[in-house]
Structure 1
Amino acid sequence: QVLLPRASNGVFTCIAPPFAVSLESGGGMRRSKFLLIGAFAAARCASASDPKAVTNADRYESAFEDFIRHFGKKYTDAERPRRFAAFRANCDVIEARNAQNKSYRLGITAFADLTPAEFAATYGAPASLEPRLEGMADIPLLGMELIRNLSVPASVDWRTQGAVASIKNQGQCGACWAFAGAAAIEGAWKIATGQLVSLSEQQIVDCSGKYGTNGCKGGSIEGGIAYTVHAKLTNDASYPYSAKEGTCQENHNMIMIPEGGVVGYKHVQPQSDQALIEAVAQQPVAVAIEADQTIFALYKGGVLASDDCGEKIDHAVLVVGYGTDKGQDYWLIKNSWGETWGERGFGRLARGKKGGGQCGITATPPSFAVVDGSKAKPIDIRATLIAAAVAAGVLLLTVLFCCIRSRCRTGSQRAPLLAQDSRQSRVAPAPAALQIARPAGGQRLGGAQGAQGGGSRLLQQASQQPSAPSQA
């Protein structure tokens, strides 16, 4: 499940995270709880200030139990010792690297129970997989962006302009090519039309086989984009992701990008930071990288600068910006492994490395989508307001109905008590001097009822120096 090294057709498969993380999309308390637990586990097995934390088997075991619980791992009795040994070894890697005060930091991720060999072998490129070539001649390659020595901003972050949709998780399906391609289209469409859409990656996985893609077994960014040129694209809510190959469904009521909205794609000159900078200054760009190394699997934040990952291409991500942090230039990437990887799903790779760049980010031609914004359907403000009013009305009626039902149940429960009180009053009336006038109907119930009743500029803006990314 990794990207195959690109041949002339650029086909590859890609690494997929081995386990779905149950806490990845949780907001507020759930995310905070996960971060605290992650910090607790990391402190137990990666704290340079407490040597006992890495020599005490009980602490390893306790951290492993936290890992199992919060990443939803399940092992057989025979498998558990092997997973624990791999986890402990990865804890040692985390401690050793973090103690060196690198520009990046490692931590506990969903991959922490795999050995480097297992990770590479299980999620590496299957050597026997041959790319499918039919339809590749139809791919609308619109040229290559070469270095033009343009004046570009010192930093760009397309997230600040809403040109980047939320982080997603490809699961145990090698569909990184579909996620990267869809994200590139989403960014281009937002910049061209002002409308941010969240496209269905499942539609691209299921329907783009004609263009040389292989579903969960891999594909090319270009093949996925080529399919979208001739398709009506729906959103992920209408055509949800299943992390497996399915039957193509192209009849959708919810069309986010009409046929012809995507014109094609362009390549960017490879092995050139300047060419990629100039392209990213205009819009997000999809790239292929090597991601099958431990340093990438355990990455939790900072600027990743290391020779551990080279140019054996096996994964696709989206470059959504670039910048400099503490003197270290970086590329800002959007991954598709959920929010628990890296900096809430994003990462920063060192910029300026010779050859193919950090983890091979410029080793092969990056790609970006070309769209026709004139095809966009104007947002119907009137229809949007009507829909909002209808939704508010339904909500109000639901609340009123619940209140009425609750009041009726309360009244039915109190009725026997009131009747009993009335009978007792008739049997043993209080002396006249102590009797309190009580209105008919019961003031207590009426009082409760009364209480209830009273109740282009995008580029300039994206080019502003971003604040320091949050650390996951």
Structure 2
Amino acid sequence: MKNIIAATLTSLLICVGFYQVNLDSDSEFERWALKHGKRYFGDEKTYRQSIYFQNKQMIDEHNKRTDVTYLMGENQFMAITNEEFVGLYLNPLSPEKQNEQDQIITKTNPKSPEPKIEQNLKEEYDWRGYAPVKDTGNCASSWAMAATNAIEAQYAIVKGIKVTLSAQNVIDCDGDWVGCDGIPTVFTQPQQAYEHARTRGILTESEYPYVGRRDYYSCQQSQLAPWKILSYMQNNDDIDYMRGFLQILRVQPLSVRVDATNWQFYSSGVFSLCSSLYKNSNYFALAIGYDYSNKNWRVQASFGKSWGEFGTIRLAPGNTCGLINEGVFVTLL
């Protein structure tokens, strides 16, 4: 009903000239929809088309600026608003959890939200290619994909084994999570996936394919799976949180919780338009590198390879997007 009302209003605004949409450009929108497997009809199509062209105009205007450090690009999110992007694809904390987690993170990480990197840590780390870039599709499952990515990377680094583990296995079989519903109900979101990997193991993607939804009581894992971990731990270096994060990143990637509110159309460059506060973090990703020479982090998302720089984003130095607030790493058996 909301979409129908919005579509009707949009149609009226187009007629009176508030939206400068060239209706001759239908084919451009339709080519985009076909490429990304989107299907719209009637008022819904009119509404989504108007959003598409508004986003296109915003991207064009942004990329013409000379004061920005990153570029935007068209992708699978062109026909949704930023509010929809956050609600459909990210994992924001509930208002109740925001205050609770602010108190917890203050106790566990009392350092400045923008700590300085030690001058003697001038190494560069790059773990690209050690874990496959995944795509959550229409499911807010970044928590499961970041965790399986961290385990996959560790198998590749330590044992020389390339494996793609099933995020769907974790989504279906982890009884403490809400699947694709978005807003978490517990504090240790990806850690639930790690606990499943520690106690029951995870099947491979080919054994348990991703479908991008969760049907309760639909777990298809009937026995222990071979892909297990020994333990998982959150970075909690009391002396220097940043230094501890970098020391772990030197030997393996970490799953992280970040503020991805404005990541919707990121295409390339160094990004910093985000909050470092833990309460604003709403997405799980994989920290895969730090480039000391160019002063940026490298983070792997789960929006597919066509998003960003082949599925990754570069973040400015410091605690950009809250990168170091919650870093989790694993050890294997």
TM-score by length of 1: 0.55
Tell me the residue number matched to 1:368. Answer: 329
**2:288 equivalent in structure 1:** 320
The partner residue of 2:132 within 166, 176, 179 is 166
Say whether 1:359 aligns with 2:321: yes
AA paired with 2:286?
Answer: L
Distance 2:84 2:299 in 1: 25
Structure 1 residues 117, 309: CA separation in 2 closer, same or farther (over 3 Å shift)?
farther
Distance (Å, rounded) in 1 between the aligned partners of 2:21 and 2:303:
31
Q: Does the CA-based 8 Å contact 2:232-2:331 persist in structure 1? A: yes
Task: Please point out which of 22, 25, 31 is paired with 1:66.
Answer: 31
2:202 corresponds to 1:233: yes
Partner residue, 1:405: none
Whole-Å Cα distance in 2 between the matches of residues 227 and 117 of structure 1?
32
Distance 2:322 2:24 in 1: 37
- Equivalent of 1:250, from 198, 221, 224? 221
- Counting only pairs closer than 5 Å after superposition, residues 457-468 of structure 1 correspond to structure 2 as none
Q: Supply the AA of the counterpart residue of 2:205.
A: D
In structure 2, runs of 5+ residues without a counterpart are 1-19, 98-107
Following superposition, the deviation at residue 118 of structure 1 comes to 3.4
Amino acid at match of 1:305: S
2:171 maps to a residue whose letter is: V
| CA distance, structure 2, for counterparts of residue 183 and residue 194 of structure 1 | 15
**8 A Cα contact 1:188 1:369, kept in partner:** yes
1:310, CA displacement in angstroms?
6.4
How far, CA to CA, are the matches of 1:232 and 1:249 in structure 2?
Answer: 13
Residues 155, 58 of structure 1: alpha-carbon distance in 2 compared, 3 angstrom cutoff: farther
Displacement after TM superposition at 1:226 (Å): 1.0
Out of 231, 245, 264, the position equivalent to 1:264 is 231
Letter matched to residue 125 of structure 2: V
Q: Which residue of 1 aligns with 2:178?
A: 214
TM-superposition CA deviations, 1:342-363 (whole Å, max 9, x none): 11212212222xxxx222222x
**Counterparts of 1:251 and 1:366, CA distance in 2:** 31
Query: Does the 8 Å CA contact 1:264/1:371 hold for their aligned counterparts?
Result: yes
Q: Amino acid of the residue matched to residue 242 of structure 1?
A: V
Contact 1:64 1:84 in 2 (8 A): yes
Residue 201 in structure 1 maps to residue 161 in structure 2: no
Partner Cα separation in structure 2 for residue 309 and residue 76 of structure 1 = 40
How many residues get paired? 289
Letter matched to residue 316 of structure 1: F
2:283 aligned with 1:284: no
Larger Rg: 1
Cα distance in 2, alignment partners of residues 95 and 309 from structure 1? 27
Deviation of 1:126 (Å): 7.9
Equivalence for 1:470: none
Which one of 38, 46, 54 corresponds to residue 89 of structure 1? 54
Partner residue, 2:273: 306
**Counterparts of 1:155 and 1:110, CA distance in 2:** 32
Query: Is the 8 Å Cα contact of residues 298 and 314 (structure 2) preserved in structure 1?
Result: yes
Residue 227 of structure 1, CA deviation: 1.3
Q: Do the aligned residues in 1 keep the contact of 2:275 with 2:320 (CA within 8 Å)?
A: no
Matched-pair contact (CA < 8 Å) for 1:123–1:292: no
- Counterpart of 1:191 in 2: which secondary structure? helix
Match of 2:80 in 1: 114
Q: Is contact 2:93-2:281 (8 Å) kept? A: no
Per-residue CA shift, 1:226-261, capped at 9, x if unaligned? Answer: 1111113321111111212252233469x542xxx4
Deviation of 1:98 after TM superposition, in Å, equals 1.0
- Across the aligned residues of Structure 1 and Structure 2, the Cα RMSD in angstroms comes to 3.3
1:153-191 Cα distance to aligned partner (Å, 9 max, x none): 5211113xx5x2221212212221111111111112222
Q: Supply the distance in 1 between the matched residues of 2:235 and 2:49 (Cα, whole angstroms).
A: 44
1:126/1:185 Cα in 2 relative to 1: closer, same or farther (>3 Å)? closer
Write the distance in 1 (CA, Å) between the matches of 2:94 and 2:288: 31
